[in-house]
Amino acid sequence: MELYQEFSFDAAHRFPGAAQDYQRGLHGHSFTARIVLRGEIDEPSGFVADLADVERRCQELRRELDHKFLNDIAGLENPSLERIAQWIWRRLKPALPALARVEVRRDSQRHGCSYDGP
């Protein structure tokens, strides 16, 4: 069984080593992150995971990312979709052992990334 929680954030970033000028310069996006959990249904509760807890943890991450310059966040000095997904994974996996995948997308550009751990 899989279930998910999504959260969105708006943030700015730049890629200092990028080949294209538009990537090296400061720019921003609206991002959506999807946190996917996988496991068996716990019979007494009927849940794979407590989504209220998952949502709370996602909102904590949202507060760290929303309306921020991602390059200033430790671990996101080069904030590609791939690195954002890994950063979210590292932040959530210790507290959410059922975490199976993190997806990060920029819907306006139809870009996305999926990360399922190391």
Mean local confidence (pLDDT), 102-107: 96
Mean local confidence (pLDDT), 5-10: 98
> Other CB atoms closer than 10 Å to residue 94's CB: what's the count?
8
Mean local confidence (pLDDT), 8-20: 87
Q: Does residue 108 register a pLDDT over 80?
A: yes
Least reliable range by pLDDT among 25-29, 31-35, 80-84, 85-89: 25-29
Q: What is the mean pLDDT of the chain?
A: 93
Angular region, 75: left φ>0, alpha ψ -120 to 50, beta rest: left
Domains of the chain and any CATH numbers: 2-115 (3.30.479.10)
Q: Does residue 21 register a pLDDT over 70?
A: no
Residue ranges of E strands in the chain: 2-13, 27-38, 68-69, 99-106, 111-115
Mean local confidence (pLDDT), 49-78: 96
Mean local confidence (pLDDT), 13-19: 81
